[in-house]
Structure 1
Amino acid sequence: MLRTRIIPALLLHEQSLVKTERFRRFRYIGDPANTVRIFNELEVDELAFLDITATRARRGPNFELLAEIASECFMPLSYGGGLCRLDDVKRVFDIGFEKVVINSYAYERPEFISEIARVYGTQAVVVSIDVKRNLLGRERVVSHGGRRVQAPNPESWAMEMERRGAGEILLTSVDREGTWQGFDLDLTKRVSANVDIPVIAQGGAGGVPDLVEAVREGGASSVAVGAMVVFQKKGFGVLVNFPEQSTLEQAFNLVRSRDEQI
């Protein structure tokens, strides 16, 4: 059985699913509920839904849409976007989601992470950290859809969020997101080495070898995938898909065998 979680991260824009590239332009993917039904048939282990407009629009989650998603989904779900009140977090869990993903509001009120963890447990809290390089190549932590620069570096912020009660870190390279160029292994490795909680690598997955590299070279515990599971291939049309379980098991088991021999 594959121990590494491969998590489709699906982006909500209003009532639809979209896919962005480097957090900018986006393409329409389809209806969220229909997409969930396809992933049910593909026997995906877990799904993450991230609303990319809620924070910028200063609104809370679309609970009606989330309820529709949860009613169709057979696997564990996580949700992020516009969460800044415990009452809203409770509604998300009551609908049927197992985890919440917090990004921008954690910088405004870091204690919000502790409040959620205290009530629902650390396993229910995922903190999302987005990292982007500026024109000089300097690495910056960003929030609000990549539009606002934050002071901490990725490692220190991940450590702080772990201390506050985060159970997982969703680490995204903005520069790689939607590009099919592979993960930022250096970034993933540095953050993974500084925390004891699982790190989910995101941004750049283009195929199974990239997933293996994120775990073996980057030290990630899991990987989040976007473009490679909603498009046929780079530059082609929409096709919701997922690697065969046997393909994933073979790739990851081969890596484990090599590591054991070293």
Structure 2
Amino acid sequence: MLLRTLTAGLLCTLLLAGCERQKDEAFEGQVRAYLLAHPEVLQEAAVKLRQKRALAAAGALKRAQARLERDPRDLVANPDGGVTVVQFFDYRDTYCRAVAPEVLKLIAENPDVRFVFKEHPVFGSASDAAAKAALTPQGKAKGLELYRSLMSLKTLTDARLDTAIRAAGLNPQEVREAMGDRAITQQIADTRALAAEIQVKGTPTFVVGGQMIQGADVDQLREAIKRAKSMSYQALADAPAMSTLPAAPR
């Protein structure tokens, strides 16, 4: 009797599973037929997905804004600028080297724009060494000179790193001694974590005005700077005028 009951239960379960599978297949067929008849739905869904991702990216950038723009450990050009451009870069990256002269040109052309340099070595130990050299007190003191010198190298080796350090007017031995500071290693680790958080896909990557620009697209970068400046000036224009206080009684 027990065996008969178990067998009946098993058969019912299998029959129900078969019905559910048939329902799933029927539903999938209906969905497929609808999409084939209305392909514009897929396009609408793709647009919505892009919008959703864009909103998520904008939210991540906003949450990370202080760490992106105001980390006191970073090298900053034009520190008093009202608009900020952040660059994630690697000295061994071909595209970073190609765009470096344009970055220096933008810095010279836009004294009202802050340029924040995020050392983001992704191409191995030689990249790590160059980033650490640039983050030493000596390297930061030379700032753009060392950046220009390192970016001018077609290949990066220990010997060539020393050559670039000398070309910037620094003593390689002193710089290498300073490179061992754990605070520098921590800064690079923090930058890598930040890059992962905001989904930096590679180098160079720029962030300006809440917009991320992946790659060495100088035209897009210029447009983003122009737009950010316009928004900044508009915000100043829209700010309430300072009220005039009455004169103190004598």
Is the TM value for this pair above 0.5?
no
Normalized per residue, the structure richer in strand is 1
Structure showing greater Rg: 2
Scaled by the length of structure 2, the TM-score of the pair is: 0.33
Scaled by the length of structure 1, the TM-score of the pair is: 0.32
Name which structure has the greater RCO, CA cutoff 8 Å, separation 6+: 2
Normalized per residue, the structure richer in helix is 2
